[in-house]
Structure formats: C-alpha cells, structure tokens
Amino acid sequence: MKNDIQDVRYEPDERPPLALTIGLGLQYATLTVAGIVLTPAILVGAVGGGEAYLSWALFAALVVSGVTTVIQSTRIGRVGSGYLLLMGSSGAFIAVCVAALERGGGGLMASLIIVSSLCQFILAAKLSLFRKIFTPTVAGTVLMLIPVTLGPIIFRKLKDVPADAEPSAAPVTAGLTLALMALISMRASGAWRLWAGALGMVAGSACGGFFYGIYDTKRVLEADWVGFPQLAWPGLDLDFGPDFWALLPAFVLVTLVGALDTIGDGIAIQRISWRRPRAIDFQSIQGALSADSLGNLLSGLTGTVPNTTYAASIAVADLTRVAARVVGICVGIIFVLLAFLPKLVAAIVAIPGPVVAAYFIVLVASLLILGIRVLMHDGLDHRKGFAVGIAFWLGIAFQLEWIFPELLQGRWSDLLGNSMTVGGLTVIVLTQFVELTGPRPRRLKTELTAANLPRIDSFLSDFAGRGKRSRELTDRLRAVGEEMLLTLTRTEEEGGAPAGRHLLLVARNDGDAVELEFAATTDDTNLEDQLALLGEQATGPPVETEVSLRLLRHYASSVRHQQFHDTDVITVRVGPAASM
C-alpha cells in the first residue's frame, strides 16, 4: 500500500493558503460558468421566451449553483458530499424542459422539476434498495440517448443568426469553434485541454463579432455592471393535468440519470482526494445525491434549469492535486457574486447561436462516449448487449417517429416521443427480466448474533450442496460465513454498534464462484479499509481483532463494502482455490 500513496497537496480537510484558494476558485469558476449560463439561455431561446424571464432564469441558475456548491463541499448533516464537487446547470434537461415550456409554460416545467427532485431525494435516502434497478447499464443507455433528444434543439441553434447576416456567418463561426475545440482536445495536454471549450467559444465569438457582426454587443453595453433582475418567476402549475403526467416519466428518468452521473462523480472525486487510497464512502455518495436533489428542488422553486455535479471540477482537482473543500466553498461564493454582475453574464449570453451550437455538439458527443464507457466499465455480456441495443434503437425510432406515428397521438406521443424515456424504460424492463428469470438466490434473515452461527453454517452448507459445489469451495463458503459473522458481531460487543441488529444473507451462483451478500445495520467501520491496512501493520503476532480479517482475506476472492446511512452491504466473492 505504501507504493499506492498519491501525490495530493491538500486533502479535503486541509486548508491551502488564502491566495491559492481564491486563485483556484477563480479558475474553477471560469471553466464552468459558461455551462451554467448557456444552458438556461438555450432553453429560453428555444421557446422564444422574453428578456425578463431570461434574466431571471440566468440569475436563479447562478445563485442555485453557488448555494448547492457550498452545501456540496461543506456537507451539512446528511446533505452534501464533503468533497470538492461543483454544481451547475444540466444540459441533459434541455429537451424535456423545452417540451414542458411548449406544452404548459414555466409553471408546468417548475412543477415537473420539483416532483422529480423528490424522487431523487428518495433515491438518495434509500440508495441501498435501488442499487439493483438503476444500474450502470441503465445510466449508460440513457446517456447515449441524450444526444438523440438534444439533436433537433442544437441544430436549430446552429442557424440562429440575424436575418441580415451573411450566409457564411453561421458555418464559418460554428466550424471555427468546433475545429479549435477539437484541435485542443485531441492534441493538447494538461491544463490546456480544460480550456478547450472556453478558447473555442472566444475564437468563434471574436470571428462572429469582427467579421460578421453577429455578436450581440448591444446586449453587453446596455447591461449594468451590478444589479438585480426583474422578478419574472413563472409560478407553479398545480393542476396536474394530462401534460404533467405525460412528461413526468421523462423528467424522472433524466433526474435519475443525473443521479447516476452524480454517483460516478462522487466516486471519482473520492479516488483522487486522499494521499492514501480509501474505500468508497457511500454515505458521502448519498450526501452528494441529496445536495443534487436540493439543487433540483431549488431550481424548480425558482423556475430555472435543474443542476448537477460538474466533472470539470474533478479534472482540475486531479491536475492541481488540491482537493480541499474550502476551494469549493470559494467557488460557490463566486457563482453567487456573478449573479449580481449582469454585464459579465450578458457577455456570455451574447455569444452567437452557431458558436453555442458547436460547443454543445462537443458536449453531447462527450455524453455519448461517457455512456459507452459506463457500459464497458460495467461489463457488457450478450444479455446486457441485447438489452442496450434494443433500447437504443427503440429510443431513436420513437423519437424520430419511425414506428406507427399515426397510432401515437396525444398523451402517448408526449410519453413515447422522447428517446430517453423509451430507451430507459426498455433497458430497465429487459435487465430486470434477466434478473428475475435467472438462477434464484437463496436468502437467510436472522439476528446478528454469534449464537446464530450454526444457522448460517447450515444455510451455506445446504446452498453449496444444492449447487453440487466441491468440498473445498464448500469449506471456503462456511469459513467466510463464520469470519464475517465474527467481524460484524465484534463491533457490537465492543460498543461500536447498537444491539438488536439483523442480518440478511443472500447467496447466488456466479459461474464457478459464489457471491455472498451480507446486509446489516450500518456500522462505522469499513472492511475494505481494514483489509487494506493489514498489509501495513508492524511485524509480529497479529492482535486478536485482526485474525478474522486476515482469514477473510485468505478465503475470499474479493470483498466490497458499501456503507449507506441505513444499511451496510458487504459483497464477498468466493471462488475455487485456482481463481484466488
């Protein structure tokens, strides 16, 4: 483990010098503020919204992003990750929000965002229960379909230039932006890659302004340096009519996909934030989801685009080796201050439509690749591959009205006309079908006490016998069951956990190996960290509390410990000796 120590300059709990904190805060804000501002600008522009609502939506997006970034970094109670994670407007919501604005206005959109945020609060609180449904396979499929849904909106923006502009204005500015972003992204390294989007938009805007006059300088000149926008809150639509129910599944699915993205970001930031690698803290992941949910709720209440965690913050933290949460607090404060500086915001909103379209082409392309990476990282066997393939093509077909469009009218058109809704629901149904029709796992529920060792031993012996497992593997299963019970009950005997806990043991066959899942009341000790630390102990006879851990490491092929607020889930894979 000593060789695995990372070169981290400042861990989350440490405080860098004030000058470094402010400097990094400004760098983070510069990299991400364009995404926060342009997303609601595209949304309002797509439906022809007024100037007053645009100003309000931009102001609200910056304030909500700032507040939730501070909460995400500080971790107030069970809300927030406690890591350097930035929050900002989510481009994944553009398509569904445009549909809501067109069908029922800002009030309908706000109501849908609020209700879908409540679903994410439930997911955050009960993450241990939903981990088998909202899998990486579902997330990857929906991420791949986001570009399909956003395509029409982006390509409309590509032609968004004044009527008297030269015919070459749109293709030249968009082409320059896209080419420069591609060049920097593919050939540059280090910090330069992080600036690809900003440099591309600056170059495209400069070209549009100097040679074609399509950069809206009038908007920038008329904007105040400091000010508060006119109140243009769209209100809430509480009628819950047919339009609401038709669009709700799409909002919920996009919200859950955003949650899965937050889970990935939460895991990634933990991986790079500590000098000594640690097991993933899923309580922190739940906190990140709760902060994300709070951001969506505030976005709905204020009538702007929902937000999500920004992966750019992870890239900067990895590059600078500074993961101090105080930097995140600084960035959040800068976002809020920017909300009261209309001229700076106007300079971003004035960017020509073709330049913005080119920027989002790169963004959605990265979402497509991210979806593929999520699928490949999770493992894509023939069953998952079939489910993803069918879901992807059905999503495209329904989005483009290739499948019996004459039969899909009214509310069915709203429900099935969104590729993310169709694709997401399809892959969930197919993957759950595989889960439900596969080899049935066996379960044992008992009190978590040492006195129940005979029951656990008998359960594992019977399971191995039914599966015609070898004597050697049967002995390993029984040994793992004993050591896990001793490890879990020792904490209670030492006063580290409340009495009266229960244990759910699930055993399932996985090829030539067996997967055991121990679900128990939450404990503060992570077995993965304990097992990793065993290799660093001083020489000499092991202390009594380490014996079970050493035996567990000997018998098990792998141990994964997921700690949630309400449950510990410890997954132990036990294979034959040849696979160890």
pLDDT tens string 180-208: 989 988 887 766 776 788 888 899 999 99
- 275, with CB counted inside 10 A (0-12, 13-18, 19+), is middle
Which H/E stretch holds residue 505? strand 502-510
Q: Is the pLDDT of residue 30 over 90?
A: no
The answer for residues whose C-beta is within 8 angstroms of residue 417's C-beta and 6 or more apart is 398, 399, 401, 408
3-state secondary structure of 446: strand
What is the distance between the alpha carbons of residues 192 and 177, in angstroms, rounded to a whole number?
16
Condensed to tens digits (0 to 9), the pLDDT of residues 281-326 reads 888 989 999 999 999 999 999 999 999 888 767 767 776 778 899 9
Report, as an integer, the average pLDDT of 254-273.
80
Q: Is the pLDDT of residue 545 over 80?
A: no
Report, as an integer, the average pLDDT of 93-99.
87
Q: Is the pLDDT of residue 126 over 70?
A: yes
Identify the band that residue 535 occupies on the pLDDT scale cut at 50, 70 and 90. very low
Is the pTM here over 0.85, yes or no? no
Identify the band that residue 548 occupies on the pLDDT scale cut at 50, 70 and 90. low
What is the distance between the alpha carbons of residues 103 and 109, in angstroms, rounded to a whole number?
9
Kindly report which listed range (252-266, 363-377, 436-450) carries the lowest average pLDDT score: 363-377
**What is residue 288's predicted lDDT score, i.e. its pLDDT?**
94
Q: Is the pLDDT of residue 331 over 80?
A: yes
Which H/E stretch holds residue 281? none
Closest to 321 (Cα-Cα) out of 190, 143, 461: 190
Condensed to tens digits (0 to 9), the pLDDT of residues 486-532 reads 877 765 555 444 556 788 899 988 778 888 888 886 555 555 555 55
Q: How far from 578 is each of 61, 469, 473, 575, CA to CA, in Å?
A: 56, 14, 11, 8
3-state secondary structure of 513: strand
The answer for residues whose C-beta is within 8 angstroms of residue 385's C-beta and 6 or more apart is none
**What is residue 349's predicted lDDT score, i.e. its pLDDT?**
84
The more confidently predicted of residues 423 and 92 is 423
The more confidently predicted of residues 553 and 516 is 516
Identify the band that residue 2 occupies on the pLDDT scale cut at 50, 70 and 90. very low
**What is residue 572's predicted lDDT score, i.e. its pLDDT?**
86
**What is residue 538's predicted lDDT score, i.e. its pLDDT?**
41
Q: Is the pLDDT of residue 459 over 90?
A: yes
Mean pLDDT value across the chain: 82
* Extents of the domains making up the chain: 2-435, 442-579
Condensed to tens digits (0 to 9), the pLDDT of residues 143-159 reads 788 788 778 878 888 88
Q: Which two tokens stand for residue 198?
A: 């900003």
**What is residue 295's predicted lDDT score, i.e. its pLDDT?**
95
Percentage, residues of the chain above pLDDT 90: 27
The more confidently predicted of residues 528 and 63 is 63
The more confidently predicted of residues 404 and 325 is 325
**What is residue 543's predicted lDDT score, i.e. its pLDDT?**
43
Identify the band that residue 29 occupies on the pLDDT scale cut at 50, 70 and 90. confident
**What is residue 554's predicted lDDT score, i.e. its pLDDT?**
72
Q: How far from 215 is each of 365, 378, 524, CA to CA, in Å?
A: 25, 44, 56
Task: Return the top range by mean pLDDT from 145-154, 344-353, 454-463, 530-539.
Answer: 454-463
What is the distance between the alpha carbons of residues 267 and 252, in angstroms, rounded to a whole number?
23
Report, as an integer, the average pLDDT of 545-564.
69
What is the third-level CATH fold of 442-579?
Heat Shock Protein 90 (3.30.565)
Q: 62, 334 in Cβ contact below 8 A?
A: no
Residue 377: how many CB atoms within 10 A of its CB? 11
Kindly report which listed range (11-20, 147-156, 169-178) carries the lowest average pLDDT score: 147-156
Q: Is the pLDDT of residue 230 over 90?
A: no
**What is residue 66's predicted lDDT score, i.e. its pLDDT?**
96
**What is residue 171's predicted lDDT score, i.e. its pLDDT?**
94
**What is residue 536's predicted lDDT score, i.e. its pLDDT?**
45
**What is residue 540's predicted lDDT score, i.e. its pLDDT?**
43
Q: Is the pLDDT of residue 65 over 90?
A: yes
**What is residue 319's predicted lDDT score, i.e. its pLDDT?**
64
**What is residue 544's predicted lDDT score, i.e. its pLDDT?**
45
**What is residue 144's predicted lDDT score, i.e. its pLDDT?**
83
Kindly report which listed range (151-165, 324-338, 371-385, 459-473) carries the lowest average pLDDT score: 371-385
3-state secondary structure 297-357: HHHHHHCCCCEEEECHHHHHHHHHCECCHHHHHHHHHHHHHHHCCHHHHHHHHCCCHHHHH
Q: Is the pLDDT of residue 537 over 50?
A: no
**What is residue 339's predicted lDDT score, i.e. its pLDDT?**
93
